[in-house]
Structure 1
Amino acid sequence: MKSTLTKLSVAISATLLSTSALANFDFDLGNDRSLSFGGYVKADARYVSGDVAYGDQWLGNGTVLAEDASQFRIFANETRLNTKYTDGDVSGFVEMDFFGAGGNEVISNSKGPRLRHAFVSYKGLLAGQTWTTYMNTSAIAETADFGTTMMGISFVRQGQIRYTMGAFQVALENPESYGVNTDASTPKPDPKNDGLPDVIGKYTLNADWGNISISGVARQLNTDDGKSHTTIGGGIAGKINTFGKDDVRFQAHYGELGRYVGTTVAPDLYNGKAETTTAFNVAYRHFWTETMRSTAIYGYGKTDESNRKNTHWAVNVFDNLTPKLAVGFEVGEMNVNDPTQAVNNGKGSSYYGQFSMKYAF
């Protein structure tokens, strides 16, 4: 045991002191215990041109500009590190990336670490912060833009207590009444009356051809004038293998889903009413060779109360220079139709191109 720990310490120290990125570490500590380190380094060069304001990634909504603008940036925010410790039936997992607060582009370009996941699991029980149970992560397409087509997918991490029974999962998750009651231009959280957890259930069918999941969420939303709304919504998502190594990935959502779908395309509340969202995303990935592949993707998000209707399309090509080093290029367009914005009646679009290089540990 002492020898194992010594080797572990030496390996970690040598890596941290080296100029190269962390490598993939898996250590058997004996007595049914193990420790692993993982993650990846990702560098991106991104160019955006149009009248939707630049972002390092597209979200479900964007800020419409009075005039066209162009911006180019090189960054490595998406880089992430994780570690997992297993002790018999118990495991703990922690992951961070670098989308947190930090410096500026004048001097250091520093970015603070941000907690992504932190949870413990034991015999089907999970507690901590991770992807919402509502999500089907396999239905998210491969893209250079970290946001993919956000307005069409479910993309939420939060605190929760989840229990998995075979193909069925049920969870109590962190509540948040996000939205506006009077000022339509300034979405804001109003959590003071959020006294009940969100309840989520999901059933996933797995087979040789892929998987399909059906999920639903029930919540109590609260306004700042003391009113509450009981809301429900649901979705279907999956990944289907087609020809050879090709696959199609899809998501479709409808209901009073708010923040669970679209990453800002829809607030939970709008002018005191629960927002209803219709969203879908479809992506097809084709392998040109054993390692070279392309994805064509389209996302759509529509809201009833705020009357937003946003879309995002993209096409890309990726190839692996080595089994763990991938490079890719993507082009696409973000379209915003958001009447709550005064500039240009809330209508705008921007094209973008992005080059990415990712080394997975």
Structure 2
Amino acid sequence: MKSITKASICICLIASCSQSTMATEYHFGGFIKANARYVDGDIAFQDSWTGGGSITESAKRTQFSAAESRLNVGITHGDVSGFAEIDFSGSSQGNAVFSNSYSPRLRHAYISYEGLTAGQTWSTMVNTSTFAETADLGVPLAGQTMVRQTLVRYSTDSWQFALENPYTYGTKAGSTVTDKKWVDTSNDYVPDAVIRFDKKGDWGNVSVSSLLRYLDPQDTAQFGAGVSIAAKLNTIGKDDLRLQLHYGNLGRYVGTDAARDMINGEIETTTSAMFAYRHFWTERTRSSLFYGVTMTDIEQTDRFHAGVNLFTNLTPVLALGFELGRYQIDDGQSPYSGEPAPQGASNYAQLSLQFYI
């Protein structure tokens, strides 16, 4: 094993073959992350702001955590490669009483071969280059695509074609505030289809994706479609602008629990947007200003997350960040009761120290 300056370790194992000698390469990476987070408002505390949330009388809380730490391994053998990654976020096992022993969760596990990808990874709708740099895990989730799932995808230089795991998230007709009849997913038998086109250059990159779906939960079969545009645009010096725009029957694909696929048996329509501008103050110090919002037609959800931060690299592999932000719920009339939905907001401050492996 030999140390290298990159955030990975490469180990080559040489095996003798009848025809030729082949090498299997292992690349280990990830990061260790320590957070100190303070939240004050009337939306219940979350480790990071998803597009969901519930209104409470008070959400004032401070929490230290290292559960966002992440480990991964990439394996390459000839034309075949694989990648697997775990972290510890969202674990229901650990708590402050039982030694914070968080269990790992699977993020990625996929195989790639000659343009074909099979396994669990980012949905083809997701353009990861447009994610903002933030202390809050996942950036402004209320406003962007953030879906990992099992899929089969074929990729060329500019095009991607995928069949992805079908799943209908929502409520059936006749649901009420106190009795939400969740859709039975046993009838999700037609894969979601995604087609994506990418364009890259010295100016940055842009992707356009379309989603086609067949939702058949129970006696309410409907076709759904949506479109997504995402871009990372280089501006002045090292600065960049990151954008996402989404519209259609996208449901669970955008907003991370801000939108559902069906409400009371009707297919939902979602409008969502995110932008982030990153400015470099010096070679190693930068800030991002970001905003994300998701709104829906039937359920009348209206969620947004905005913030600003400052990051600096103490060393090439150690970054210190401080972030201030606000998450707000401005939902309209409830489709279940006809009454105005609860509204609220919480402000937060977060300090993060991240060591890239």
Q: Normalising to structure 1: TM-score of the pair?
A: 0.91
Report whether the alignment pairs 1:133 with 2:124: yes
Match of 1:72 among 58, 62, 66: 62
AA aligned to 2:70 is: R
Alignment counterpart, residue 110 of structure 2, candidates 96, 116, 119: 119
Note the alpha carbon deviations across 1:182-228, whole angstroms, 9 max, x for none: 325448452111111000010010101100000010001123x3221
Distance 1:32 1:289 in 2: 41
Of 344, 348, 351 in structure 2, the residue corresponding to residue 348 of structure 1 is: 344
In the alignment, the residues of structure 2 paired with residue 42 and residue 51 of structure 1 have an alpha-carbon distance, to the nearest angstrom, of 27
After TM superposition, give the deviation of residue 344 of structure 1 in Å.
Answer: 8.1
Shift of 1:148: 1.5
Residue 168 of structure 2 is aligned with which of 152, 161, 177?
177
2:213: which partner in 1?
219
**1:301 match: secondary structure:** strand
CA 1:87–1:289 in 2, change beyond 3 Å: closer, same or farther?
same
| Further displaced range: 321-330 or 143-152 | 143-152
Identify the residue that residue 283 of structure 1 maps to in structure 2: 276
Q: Does 1:24 pair with 2:8?
A: yes
Contiguous gaps of at least 5 residues in structure 1: 1-6, 12-22
Question: What is the identity, as a one-letter code, of the residue corresponding to 1:354?
Answer: Q
Which of 73, 80, 86 is equivalent to 1:90? 80
**Residue type of the alignment partner of 1:183:** S
SS state at 1:69 partner: coil
CA distance in 2 between counterparts of 1:202 and 1:24 reads 30
Could you say if the C-alpha distance between residues 184 and 55 of structure 1 is closer, same or farther in structure 2, counting changes exceeding 3 Å? Answer: farther
What per-residue deviation string (whole Å, max 9, x for no partner) do you get for residues 253-295 of structure 1?
Answer: 0000000111111000001011100000000000000010000
1:176–1:189: 8 Å Cα contact kept in structure 2? no
Alignment check: 8 A CA contact 1:168 1:204 kept: yes
1:259 counterpart SS class = helix
Give the corresponding residue for 1:39. Answer: 30
Q: Cα 1:354–1:150, aligned 2, differ >3 Å: closer, same or farther?
A: same
Structure 2 residue 188 is the aligned partner of structure 1 residue 194 = yes
Which whole-Å CA distance do the structure 2 matches of 1:278 and 1:187 have between them?
25
Q: Which residue of 1 aligns with 2:138?
A: 147
TM score, norm. by length of structure 2: 0.92
Aligned residue pairs total: 340
1:209 correspondence with 2:203: yes
Residue 16 of structure 1 is matched in structure 2 by none
CA RMSD of aligned residues (A): 1.8
Query: Does structure 2 retain, via aligned residues, the 8 Å contact 1:281–1:297?
Result: yes
Give me the whole-angstrom Cα distance separating, in 1, the residues matched to 2:67 and 2:234: 32
Counterpart amino acid of residue 170 in structure 2:
G
Q: Contact 1:187–1:267 (CA<8 Å) still a contact in 2?
A: no
Q: Which residue of 2 aligns with 1:266?
A: 259
Please report how far the alpha carbon of residue 177 of structure 1 lies from its aligned counterpart in structure 2 after TM superposition: 0.6
1:325 is matched with: 318
The match for 2:17 is: none
Which amino acid is 2:144 matched to?
I
Structure 2 residue runs of 5 or longer lacking an equivalent are: 15-21
Give the Cα–Cα distance (whole angstroms) in 2 for the partners of residues 234 and 358 of structure 1: 34
Tell me, yes or no, if the aligned pair for 1:190 and 1:222 is still in contact at 8 Å: no
Letter in 2 for 1:357: L
Instruction: Return the alpha-carbon distance in structure 2 between the equivalents of residues 217 and 69 of structure 1.
Output: 37
Indicate the SS of the match to 2:190: coil
